[in-house]
Amino acid sequence: MLHRRTVLTTAAAATFIPAAPAIVRAAETPGVTATEIRLGNTVPYSGPASAYGTLGKAEAAMFKMANDQGGFAGRKVNFISYDDGYSPPKTVEQARRLIEEDRVAALFATLGTPTNSAIVRYVNMKKVPQLFVATGADKWGDYKEHPWTIGWQPSYVTESQVYGKYILAHKPDAKIGILYQNDDFGKDYLHGMRDALKDRYAHQVTEVSYEVTDATVDSQLVSLQSAKVEVLLTVATPKFAAQTIRKLAEMRWKPLHILTGVSVSVGAVMLPAGPENGVGIVSSAYLKDPTDPRWENDAGMKKWREFMAKYYPDGDVKDGGNVAAYGLTDTMIAVLKACGNDLSRHNMMKQATNLHNLENPVLLPGIRINTSPTNYHPIRQLQLMRWNGKTWDLFGDIIEGASAA
Question: Could you give all domains of the chain from N- to C-terminal order, each with its CATH number?
Answer: 4-154+295-374 (3.40.50.2300), 156-285+383-400 (3.40.50.2300)
**pLDDT of res. 401:** 57
**pLDDT of res. 402:** 46
**pLDDT tens readout for residues 103-141:** 999 999 999 999 999 999 999 999 999 999 999 999 999
Q: What angle do CA 47, 94, 376 make, to 5 degrees?
A: 95
Residue 83: what are its φ and ψ, rounded to 5°? -80, 125
Distance separating alpha carbons of residues 75 and 77, to the nearest angstrom:
7
Q: Look at residues 334, 325, 326, 329 and name the one whose alpha carbon lies nearest to residue 353.
A: 334
Q: Look at residues 142, 218, 214, 222 and name the one whose alpha carbon lies nearest to residue 183.
A: 214
Q: Look at residues 316, 306, 279, 278 and name the one whose alpha carbon lies nearest to residue 362.
A: 306
**pLDDT of res. 403:** 41
**What angle in degrees, to the nearest 10, is found between the helix axes of 184-197 and 113-126?**
100
The secondary structure element, H or E, covering residue 239 is helix 238-251
pTM of the model: 0.86
Distance separating alpha carbons of residues 387 and 281, to the nearest angstrom:
5
Distance separating alpha carbons of residues 159 and 230, to the nearest angstrom:
20
CB atoms within 10 A of CB 16: 17
Residue 48: what are its φ and ψ, rounded to 5°? -70, -20
Cite the DSSP H helix spans in 285-319. Answer: 299-311
Distance separating alpha carbons of residues 181 and 48, to the nearest angstrom:
12
**pLDDT of res. 29:** 85
**pLDDT tens readout for residues 173-182:** 999 999 999 9
As separate numbers, helices (DSSP H) first and strands (DSSP E) second, the chain gives 12, 12
Distance separating alpha carbons of residues 264 and 339, to the nearest angstrom:
34
CB atoms within 10 A of CB 370: 16
Q: Which residue ranges in the chain fall short of pLDDT 50?
A: 1-27, 402-405
Distance separating alpha carbons of residues 76 and 104, to the nearest angstrom:
13
**pLDDT of res. 399:** 87
Evaluate whether 269 touches 245 at the Cβ level (below 8 Å): yes
**pLDDT of res. 227:** 97
Q: At residue 309, what is the residue type? A: A
Is 32 buried (19+), middle (13-18) or exposed (0-12) by CB count in 10 A? buried
